[in-house]
């Protein structure tokens, strides 16, 4: 592949912390990589509480934002919660520009996001 045309990979790690399913997302979340994260969310989020660790995410476009908002809504409707941890400046800017920073549950770190165990989180 020629320089500049390579699409960046998306890596998704997954673990459970204090009852929360934590998905660590690294790379770029865009129209090419959204299906990968969507599939991982579908397969891994079996409960109603999940955290997206975005500390390794350098870029997100509107398709990534739509996926995050969709999961935010789905878990909320199920009586659970999607929390977002450790957003980098470009992604946080996207949340602010889209006027969803107030809607989403943003946390500085994964540790902060899983402070309350999933059992007590409303």
Q: What is the pLDDT of residue 116?
A: 76
Largest pairwise CA distance in the chain: 51
Q: What is the pLDDT of residue 1?
A: 43
Phi-psi group of 99: left, alpha or beta (phi > 0 → left; psi -120 to 50 → alpha; rest → beta): left
Query: Which two three-digit tokens encode residue 104?
Result: 């989403």
Asked whether the predicted pLDDT for residue 5 surpasses 60, the reply is no
pTM of the full structure: 0.90
Q: What is the pLDDT of residue 120?
A: 64
Q: What is the pLDDT of residues 50-88, one digit of tens each?
A: 999 999 999 999 999 999 999 999 999 999 999 999 999
Q: What is the pLDDT of residues 80-104, one digit of tens each?
A: 999 999 999 999 999 999 999 999 9
């Amino acid at each position: 592949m020629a320089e500049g045309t390579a699409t960046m990979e998306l890596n998704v790690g997954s673990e459970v912390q204090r009852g929360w399913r934590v998905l660590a997302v690294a790379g770029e979340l865009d129209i090419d990589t959204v299906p990968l994260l969507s599939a991982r969310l579908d397969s891994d989020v079996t409960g109603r509480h999940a955290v997206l660790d975005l500390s390794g995410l350098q870029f997100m476009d509107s398709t990534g934002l739509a996926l995050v908002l969709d999961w935010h809504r789905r878990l909320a409707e199920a009586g659970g919660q999607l929390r977002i941890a450790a957003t980098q400046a470009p992604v946080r800017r996207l949340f602010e520009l889209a006027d969803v920073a107030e809607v989403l549950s943003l946390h500085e770190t994964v540790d902060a996001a899983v402070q309350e165990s999933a059992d007590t989180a409303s």
